[in-house]
Amino acid sequence: MNGLDWPTPAPGPLAWISPSSAAAMQTCQLRLAFQLDAKTSGWVRGSTRTALGIVAHRLTELVWTGHAPTTHRRDWLEDQWTALLEEERRALIARWPGSLVPPASEWPGVTATRVRLLRRLEGIKAKPKGAATPGHVPSASVPALPWVERMLQDQTRGIRGVPDRVERSDGALRVVDLKSGAGQSAVTPDQRRQLLVYAHLVNEEIGYLPHECVVVDVRGRETCVAVGAAQVRESVEELEALRDGFSASLATGAVPASPSPSACAWCPFKIVCKTYWQARNETWSGLDVRGEVAAVLHDGSIRLGVAAEDGSSSSFRVIWHGEHRPGLGASVAVVDLQRAGPGTGRMRWWSRWRVA
């Protein structure tokens, strides 16, 4: 390893577990530890992909909660879509200081998501804001359905989650989860467990399980997940076992990593993860490099001396963007480069880098 420091995350005990944190544990416990540690959590800065998902969820929530007008709805949806996109772009600019975040019109997948989402939301029947759902009698502690993005908790087991929507439709109690990704197809095991844990949390609130759980994609297509007491119990026990295993790892101070091309490709913490740099090789996708600055070139790029495990070395040119260009002899790591010819990579607006 070069002169960069490689932090060891040390978050506090995990008081709560959610379906999303359980999925993160299964992918890589070390990634979750980085995410929970305040010293390293700042590497999570978001992306255009996550921003699109946020916009889709927020616009759907506005329609679900009765904010959409009954007339000229398409115009209203277009205006809200544009405003929410720009709001998320400003948030990305704030989280990526010095980076040139592209206009939202240039984001990958923005057109397909917009067309499919707005077409679906245009056809959803509007309800007056605050309208109660027939068949559910609210109490002082349990608000009337539908619930949209409401935090649900099992205090005894330390499990929490936020279903996109819990509703009663044609007499059936349903948990609805919106998946805004254009590539959503079959329900994954993680998504199935997520919905069944939500069913458990609804049961804790209302006293009985939902009749069905459904995944809704950006086109509005629904995929049902069967809900049964045994399946729900199994999913809850799986979450508890994952939390116990993670807590045990934290207690020993040796949180295991699970490096792989798929697990590490979009991980925001690979820039600070020593295990990642030890595991990756030339067969992995993506263009990430670390080394020492051997030359600072007149065109603003730098040339790195990159050492291989067998003791050999090679040269790699990084076309550097922005301020804080490293000087001669500095240790550098930079990830998510765009290939710009043999032995050359160009920094993207979302490339992460470290210098020592």
pLDDT for position 219: 78
Helix axes 19-27, 189-206, angle to 10 degrees: 150
The pLDDT score that the predictor gives to residue 192 is 95
Nearest to 338 by CA among 316, 314, 319, 315: 319
Look at residue 139 in the predicted model and tell me its pLDDT: 56
What span, in angstroms and rounded, lies between the C-alpha atoms of 64 and 121? 9
Q: Is the dihedral of CA 197, 202, 207, 213 positive or negative?
A: negative
What is the mean pLDDT, run by run of 10 residues, along the chain of 356 residues?
86 93 95 97 96 94 90 96 98 95 96 93 66 48 88 97 93 91 76 97 96 88 93 97 94 94 96 96 92 94 88 91 89 97 96 96
User: At 160, which amino acid appears?
Assistant: R
pLDDT at 126: 55
Residue with tokens 């765009």: 338
Going along the chain from its start, the domains and CATH numbers come out as 147-243 (3.90.320.10), 286-355 (2.40.50)
Output the pTM of the full model: 0.87
- For residue 83, the surrounding DSSP H or E stretch is helix 73-95
Please check whether residue 51 is in contact with residue 107, taking contact to mean a CB–CB distance below 8 angstroms.
Answer: yes
In the prediction, which pLDDT does 134 show? Answer: 44
pLDDT of residue 142: 81
Provide the pLDDT for residue 179. 84
pLDDT of 206 reads 94
Integer-rounded Cα radius of gyration of the chain: 23
Strand ranges in 234-351 using DSSP code E only, listed in sequence order? 289-296, 302-307, 313-319, 331-335, 338-339, 344-346
